[in-house]
Amino acid sequence: MAVIAASGLVKSFGEGRGARRVLDGAALHVQAGEVVAILGRSGTGKSTMLHLIGGLDKPDAGTITVAGQPVTGVSERALSRLRRQHIGFVFQFFHLMPELSGEANVLLAGRVRGARPDAAARGQELIDRLGLRPVADSLPHQLSGGEQQRFAIARALVNDPAVLLADEPTGNLDVHAGAEVLRLLRTGAEDGRAVVMVTHENAAADIADRVLTLHDGRLR
C-alpha cells in the first residue's frame, strides 16, 4: 500500500469570475523509500499540493491518506496528531524559531504532546549525524543557510515520520549547501520514508525516483 495516496484533488482560490482552479483532479501515490519531485511553473499549485498532503489546507474535493490514515474528512485534532506522528515538513525559508538555538529548535519538536518517547535522544543523534554539533548552541541568525536547513531537516525527522514533505528545500542555498540537503533527503528515503519534494531546480529533481510535472491542475 502506498504511504501517500491522493486521488481526485480539486482546489480553487478566489470566488466567482475571479476563481482560479490550481488543482483539477490531481492524483499522487508514493511508496516507502521513494523520492518524488514535483516540477511546474510558479503559481501552478505545487506548494498547494504539498499543503493538502500534509493537512495544512483542505481540498475542495478528493481524498488523501498518509500512512494508512485519512487526511481528508477528519477533525483538526486528528490532523494535528497525524502531522506530529507521521509527517515531517522542510520549507524553503527554514521556519526555525529565531530566539532558540539550533539544538533547541530540534528538541522542541520532540516535546509536543504525542511525540515519540525517545525524541530527545533521537534529536541529539540527528544533530551529531548531520554534523551540527559544533554550531548546536548558535541562534538561527548566526548560522549559514545550509546549517539552518540541516537543523530544519533534523527537526522534521525527530519523530521518525513516514512521510517527508519538502517545499523548495534548496531555494535559498548555494550549490554546495543545496547538494548536501539533497543528499540528506535521499538518505531519508533510503531509511524507508516517502519523500515528496516541490522544486524548480533540475539538480534537485536529479535525486528523485520519479519526476512529475503539474500542468493544467494534474500531475503528469
Q: How far apart are CA 104 and CA 76, in angstroms?
A: 26
Instruction: Tell me the whole-structure pTM to 2 decimals.
Output: 0.91
What count of other Cβ atoms lies within 10 Å of the Cβ of residue 115? 18
- pLDDT lower than 70: segments of the chain: 114-115
Which pLDDT score, from 0 to 100, does residue 118 have?
83
Cα 165 to Cα 44, 49, 137, 142, distances in angstroms: 18, 10, 26, 26
- Residue positions counted in the chain: 220
What does the alpha-carbon distance between residue 215 and residue 101 come to, in Å, rounded to a whole number? 40
Nearest to 11 by CA among 1, 22, 2: 22
pLDDT at site 32 = 95
Give the chain's domains with CATH numbers: 4-219 (3.40.50.300)
Helices (H), the chain: 46-53, 76-86, 102-108, 119-129, 145-157, 175-190, 202-205
Q: What is the pLDDT of residue 84?
A: 87
Which pLDDT value is given to residue 114?
A: 67
Angle at 155 between CA 161 and CA 121, to 5 degrees: 85
Distance between CA 91 and CA 174 in Å, rounded? 16
Per-residue pLDDT at 117: 77
Return d(Cα 43, Cα 7) in angstroms, integer. Answer: 21
